Each structure stands twice: as C-alpha cells, then as structure tokens.
C-alpha cells in the first residue's frame, strides 16, 4: 500500500472515529426534539379546509370533523380530538345509555343539551376511557382535548357533601386515559388545580377566558377586572410550581372584527409565556391571528 493511500485510509478512519465520538457525546444520531408549540386553534365545526388547520402547531377539532386528518397532520400539526370528560351532550350517541345507567346528574343551565356527569362512577370512566377515547384515536388523531372537568370540580366546590370525590375522580380519569392510551397527547381544558397531580401523564393545560370574559346575557366580550385576572394568574403560577414542565394554552373570546383588540390579546398572553388563541364563542370558524398593525409591532388598542 502506498504512502498516499495509507494516509488517506488513516484520515478516513480518524474522521470516522471522530464522528462516532461526537454522536456518542451529542446524540447526533437521534432526531431533533420538536420545539414547543407556539400556535394553536380550537375548531368545533366540521368543514374547514384541512389546509387551513395546517397553519397551526396544534389543532383541536370535533371528532365529527369531515376533513382529511392525514392532510392536516402532513404539516406536522398535532391534531387533537375533542372529548368531554365532565359532561355529555344529548346529541351524542352514548347519551341514552349513559342516562339509563345513571351516569348523568342534571342539565347544565348555561349550555342547553349538555348534562353534568357523575365522573365518580366506574361506568363513566369505562365509557370515556375505553369507548369514547378509543374511538376518537382510532380515526387517526394524535391525542385528545379533554374538556369540562371544571364542571365536575365546580359541583364539588359548591356542594362538597353531595359531590365529594369529584376532583379525585378527575385525576383518576386522566391517569387512566394516559395508561390506556400512552402514546396519545393529552391537553386538558381548565382543571388547572389538578396540574401537579397528573405529572408526567399530562403536561399541557388550556385556560379559557383568563384575560377576557364572555357575557352570555349581552353576548359580548369584556375585559376581566384586575382582581379577576390576578385570581387566574395566581392559580397558573401555583400550577407551574407544582408542574414545572407545564405548557399553558389560552383561549380568549373577543369581537374578531376588532383586529387591534384581538392582536393585543395575543401579545399580552404571549408576554405571559402562554400559547394563545382568540376566537368567537361558538368556535365554529377558524379565526386567523391578525398581523401586527402598527410600526412598533403592537396593536394600537390594547385591552
């Protein structure tokens, strides 16, 4: 073997050894960890174009969404199917069976057709964990958006004797969902006081109306008072202490024609370290975030 060939071989071996060492030290052979989501959308309609949902890192849609989930997921959007854990709508196919089994309590006075569930009963956990969640995930969803646990916790808070154990049952249901579907991403809407009790099964929580509030009587949005915002801020701060890996998504309702106001909500929520979305109360349309409308990059009218 000539000197030049020996040198070339030695250089190749040295390069290979160096690459092996770098791989061992830096983990270069592993795929890069995905960045935390920065955008999300909640859409409970059925016919929005999947290409529209591709614009978000996380998309929450109703299980009855008619679009092609594969198209949405092609852009690496994490697609979550809606699942109510604390209430059941009388239009759902499982309603009659749940009522006949005594799993439902009474109708929610704020949402016609939605019935509070007694989540303490084993039959309810079997229904949502083994039947409803399994059916949603089988359609190709990446995970679940888990709603209305706040309803169960509110019942216990307002009548602790009659509804004792609702919060514990909420924790048990979340842990059971993770155990039954370990690869599914779980995003819990509300129920922030539970964040420290479900680590590491659930790392994503959503908070509704932390900066704004919807007046059902006048059908208009309003800014929360300082004391109301402080109450929500304190709860979120405590949750982050209990669960340092917590990622908080915010959902606020506003007049979407007020582009300056909508942009200001986005800006303030991002400054607080949250992942925001601003929409109409019905969540039946995808509302894109408006572009900054002032040279400074901030909206001209700030809530």
The answer to whether 59 touches 37, Cβ cutoff 8 Å, is no
Beta bridge partners of 10: none
> In what helix (H) or strand (E) does residue 267 lie, and over which residues does it extend?
helix 259-271
Taking each helix axis from N to C end, the angle separating 166-180 and 149-158, rounded to the nearest 10 degrees, works out to: 160
CATH architecture of residue range(s) 36-279: Alpha-Beta Barrel (3.20)
pLDDT (average), residues 205-222: 90
Q: Where are the alpha helices (DSSP H) in 181-258?
A: 226-242
Residue 81 exposed, middle or buried by CB count within 10 Å (0-12, 13-18, 19+): buried
The reported pLDDT for the residue numbered 298 is 38
pLDDT (average), residues 295-301: 39
Report the phi/psi class of residue 229: left, alpha or beta, with left for phi > 0 and alpha for psi in -120 to 50: alpha
Beta bridge partners of 145: 82, 187
Tell me the pLDDT band of 224, cut-offs 50, 70 and 90: very high
Beta-carbon count within 10 A of 128 CB: 25
Given a cut of 70, is residue 214 above it in pLDDT?
A: yes
pLDDT (average), residues 245-257: 95
The answer to whether 195 touches 236, Cβ cutoff 8 Å, is no
The reported pLDDT for the residue numbered 162 is 97
The answer to whether 53 touches 43, Cβ cutoff 8 Å, is yes
For residues 240 and 215, what is the distance between their CA atoms, to the nearest angstrom? Answer: 29
The answer to whether 40 touches 275, Cβ cutoff 8 Å, is yes
The model's pLDDT over 131-173, given as tens digits with 9 standing for 90+, comes to 999 999 999 999 999 999 999 999 999 999 999 999 999 999 9
For the chain, the average pLDDT equals: 87
Q: Among 153, 179, 178, 150, which Cα is nearest to 165's?
A: 153
Tell me the pLDDT band of 3, cut-offs 50, 70 and 90: very low
For 171, the 3-state DSSP assignment is: helix
The reported pLDDT for the residue numbered 219 is 86
For residues 86 and 62, what is the distance between their CA atoms, to the nearest angstrom? Answer: 16
The model's pLDDT over 10-51, given as tens digits with 9 standing for 90+, comes to 334 333 333 333 333 334 343 444 689 999 999 999 999 999
Beta bridge partners of 117: 104
The reported pLDDT for the residue numbered 159 is 97
The answer to whether 72 touches 60, Cβ cutoff 8 Å, is no
Q: Could you tell me the two tokens for 9?
A: 């071989």
Beta-carbon count within 10 A of 27 CB: 11
**Percent of the chain topping pLDDT 90:** 76
pLDDT (average), residues 221-247: 90
The answer to whether 186 touches 201, Cβ cutoff 8 Å, is yes
Report the phi/psi class of residue 245: left, alpha or beta, with left for phi > 0 and alpha for psi in -120 to 50: alpha
The reported pLDDT for the residue numbered 282 is 92
The model's pLDDT over 53-102, given as tens digits with 9 standing for 90+, comes to 999 999 999 999 999 999 999 999 999 999 999 999 999 999 999 999 99
The pTM assigned to this predicted structure is 0.85
For residues 243 and 186, what is the distance between their CA atoms, to the nearest angstrom? Answer: 15
Q: Among 39, 37, 44, 38, which Cα is nearest to 286's?
A: 44
The reported pLDDT for the residue numbered 293 is 52
Report the phi/psi class of residue 273: left, alpha or beta, with left for phi > 0 and alpha for psi in -120 to 50: left
The reported pLDDT for the residue numbered 23 is 37
The reported pLDDT for the residue numbered 248 is 96
What residues contact 160, with CB distance under 8 A and at least 6 apart?
none
pLDDT (average), residues 117-144: 97
Q: Report CA dihedral (85, 88, 91, 95) to the nearest 10 degrees.
A: 110
């Amino acid at each position: 073997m000539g000197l030049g060939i020996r040198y070339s071989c030695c250089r190749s071996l040295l390069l290979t050894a160096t690459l092996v060492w770098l791989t061992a030290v830096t983990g270069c052979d592993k795929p890069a960890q995905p960045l935390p989501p920065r955008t999300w959308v909640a859409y409970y309609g059925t016919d929005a174009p999947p290409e529209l949902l591709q614009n978000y890192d996380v998309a929450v849609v109703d299980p009855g969404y008619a679009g092609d989930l594969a198209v949405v997921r092609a852009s690496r959007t994490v697609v979550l199917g809606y699942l109510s854990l604390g209430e059941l709508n009388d239009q759902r196919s499982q309603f009659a069976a749940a009522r006949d089994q005594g799993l439902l309590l009474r109708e929610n006075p704020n949402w016609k057709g939605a019935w509070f569930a007694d989540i303490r009963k084993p039959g309810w956990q079997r229904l949502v964990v083994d039947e409803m969640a399994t059916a949603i995930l089988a359609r190709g969803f990446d995970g679940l958006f888990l709603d209305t646990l706040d309803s169960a916790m509110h019942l216990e808070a307002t009548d602790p004797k009659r509804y004792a154990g609702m919060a514990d049952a909420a924790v048990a249901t979340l842990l059971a969902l993770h155990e039954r579907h370990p690869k599914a991403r779980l995003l819990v809407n509300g129920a922030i006081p539970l964040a420290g009790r479900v680590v590491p099964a659930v790392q994503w929580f959503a908070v509704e109306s932390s900066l704004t509030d919807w007046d059902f009587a006048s059908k208009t949005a309003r800014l929360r008072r300082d004391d109301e915002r402080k109450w929500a801020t304190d709860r979120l701060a405590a949750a982050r202490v209990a669960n340092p890996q917590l990622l908080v998504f915010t959902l606020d309702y506003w007049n979407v024609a007020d582009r300056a106001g909508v942009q200001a909500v986005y800006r303030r929520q991002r400054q607080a370290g949250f992942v925001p979305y601003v929409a109409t109360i019905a969540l039946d349309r995808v509302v894109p975030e408006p572009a900054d409308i002032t040279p400074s990059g901030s909206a001209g009218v700030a809530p």
